[in-house]
Homo-oligomer: A and B are copies of this chain.
């Protein structure tokens, strides 16, 4: 059998980390900016983010949450109010100390000592404190509750080791912040957001996730409970792809978010926060990418169909271009997933067969190549990105009539979306191991020369305090962490491999990004 000649120089099997960088670079999604820990998001990467934003924003608005915008800078004093919170973030924040530069007399610039701020400002790593201050002004009575806000913003966390999309000093995200009359209502919002993230990951990103509660040691600083969606990447590692926090009354107390209840008494609000970020794009790459580059789920593809005219610098070209333009127009009238199709007629100079590989690497779901004969015969030649190669190692172009292609284009995109999810879910499910019944077995499982060992599902006794610290240390020695306790409520039995006590709940253990 002929060997397929893949488009990328690195395979997933060969070097997953290197492959990841190559996909980002070859698909022109992002690049190092020259500014420490910050990336430039290029049009193809940003286009995917715009799609994620548009669809997530619709979900957020549909839940009655209103978008606002809060300051980039947070005064130090705001930040110091919530003790656990500041403890958790204090090690990684960008601090603004001056508001002017002056010449240093040596042809360069330096912060002006006379323009030193009385109180340093922190570049927001997250906005609980500054939004809490606003909520304390907005909430007066039970009638003002629930107060449901969200912002789309950039945040900064000073990271030592960065990796594009997954961990950058500056990243883009949405952060929902809500205030409620009581625990029940706040918890219900926390879980609503989590369910929204799950549905979004699965239906929009075609990325299967497990929703659950993070263990105590992995909680958001200051939170009472933190929930996450966890996705498995193709190297078997876990990616925390979104979190939702029930914050109790701690932040409300720090910021003074109080309301008069129906009985006329003052009460503290219960607050929540929840967020997803540009990290999702890293998840999409590592869930769907293959050795030929990215594969973008149709719902978030900036272009779902790219039409490549095969031009020969002859008179025939005009007819090919006209045919392609008519095809683009006809396709753009169609709808899939409740939206008009996004179709590009790529008329840039260059050979279609070369341009094809650019779009393959970018992961466009459907690529059409149209030559003079196709135009004359009312045909198209179509390539599904998720069925790229034929058995004979040639690109799997399928010739069909233009009318047949148009008639099936929307359902074809829906099939690709669905197929990517099914494929990812099968991979994920095949790489979750159960029935590991001792710490030794766990150590052995991850020590074996198994390149991508996946996740282990365990039952544990949910230790706290020193016992939990021990457990976390044992796992850390194996480079493992607890991802979450799934919310599916399946029954638990057996003994905790960490404490020897009876198990009370299940957890997923994995290596993670």
User: Could you list which residues of chain A lie within 8 angstroms of chain B, going by C-beta atoms?
Assistant: 31, 33-35, 38-43, 46-47, 49-50, 66-80, 86, 90-102, 108-111, 120-123, 130, 133-134, 137, 143, 149, 153-154, 156, 158, 170, 172, 349
Known: A79-B109, A95-B97. A172 touches B69 (CB 8 A): yes
Question: Smallest CB-CB separation from A348: which chain B residue?
Answer: B143
Q: In the assembly, what is the distance between CA of A368 and CA of B197, in Å?
A: 36
CB distance from A379 to the nearest CB of B (A): 30
CB distance from A334 to the nearest CB of B (A): 19
Q: Are B46 and A69 in contact (CB under 8 A)?
A: yes
Specify how many copies of this chain sit in the oligomer: 2
Q: Are A40 and B100 in contact (CB under 8 A)?
A: no
**Neighbouring B residues of A130 by C-beta, 8 Å:** 33-35
Q: Can you name 7 A-B pairs with beta carbons within 8 Å?
A: A33-B134, A47-B66, A76-B108, A95-B96, A96-B97, A96-B123, A98-B120
CB distance from A160 to the nearest CB of B (A): 10
**Neighbouring B residues of A78 by C-beta, 8 Å:** 34
Q: Are B109 and A99 in contact (CB under 8 A)?
A: no
* Extra A-B contacts (6), CB below 8 Å, given A43-B149, A69-B172, A80-B108: A35-B71, A38-B72, A72-B154, A93-B99, A94-B98, A95-B101
Question: Smallest CB-CB separation from A133: which chain B residue?
Answer: B34
Question: Smallest CB-CB separation from A99: which chain B residue?
Answer: B158
CB distance from A38 to the nearest CB of B (A): 4
* Top 6 closest pairs, chain A to chain B, by CB: A38-B71, A43-B66, A41-B69, A99-B158, A95-B98, A35-B71
Q: Are B101 and A90 in contact (CB under 8 A)?
A: yes
Q: Are B35 and A75 in contact (CB under 8 A)?
A: yes
**Neighbouring B residues of A80 by C-beta, 8 Å:** 108-109
Q: Are A90 and B68 in contact (CB under 8 A)?
A: no
**Neighbouring B residues of A49 by C-beta, 8 Å:** 69
Partner of A137 from the list B31, B73, B86, B93 (CB cut-off 8 Å) is B31
Q: In the assembly, what is the distance between CA of A95 and CA of B40, in Å?
A: 21
Q: Are B34 and A75 in contact (CB under 8 A)?
A: yes
Q: Are A92 and B97 in contact (CB under 8 A)?
A: no
CB distance from A389 to the nearest CB of B (A): 30
Question: Smallest CB-CB separation from A107: which chain B residue?
Answer: B80
**Neighbouring B residues of A172 by C-beta, 8 Å:** 69
**Neighbouring B residues of A92 by C-beta, 8 Å:** 99-100
**Neighbouring B residues of A38 by C-beta, 8 Å:** 71-73
Question: Smallest CB-CB separation from A75: which chain B residue?
Answer: B35
Known: A33-B130, A137-B31. A68 touches B97 (CB 8 A): no
CB distance from A129 to the nearest CB of B (A): 11
Q: Are B170 and A71 in contact (CB under 8 A)?
A: yes
CB distance from A310 to the nearest CB of B (A): 19
CB distance from A354 to the nearest CB of B (A): 13
Q: In the assembly, what is the distance between CA of A29 and CA of B95, in Å?
A: 29
Q: Are B90 and A99 in contact (CB under 8 A)?
A: no
Partner of A67 from the list B47, B149, B156 (CB cut-off 8 Å) is B47
Q: Are B99 and A94 in contact (CB under 8 A)?
A: yes
**Neighbouring B residues of A100 by C-beta, 8 Å:** 90-93, 95, 158
Most buried by B among A71, A98, A134: A71
CB distance from A39 to the nearest CB of B (A): 8
Partner of A95 from the list B31, B42, B99, B153 (CB cut-off 8 Å) is B99
Q: In the assembly, what is the distance between CA of A94 and CA of B121, in Å?
A: 9
Q: In the assembly, what is the distance between CA of A349 and CA of B33, in Å?
A: 51
**Neighbouring B residues of A158 by C-beta, 8 Å:** 99-100
**Neighbouring B residues of A41 by C-beta, 8 Å:** 68-70
**Neighbouring B residues of A72 by C-beta, 8 Å:** 38, 123, 154, 156, 170
Partner of A43 from the list B67, B74, B102 (CB cut-off 8 Å) is B67
**Neighbouring B residues of A149 by C-beta, 8 Å:** 43
CB distance from A89 to the nearest CB of B (A): 9
Question: Smallest CB-CB separation from A73: which chain B residue?
Answer: B35
Q: In the assembly, what is the distance between CA of A134 and CA of B41, in Å?
A: 11
**Neighbouring B residues of A170 by C-beta, 8 Å:** 71-73
Q: Are B68 and A42 in contact (CB under 8 A)?
A: yes
Q: In the assembly, what is the distance between CA of A472 and CA of B346, in Å?
A: 51
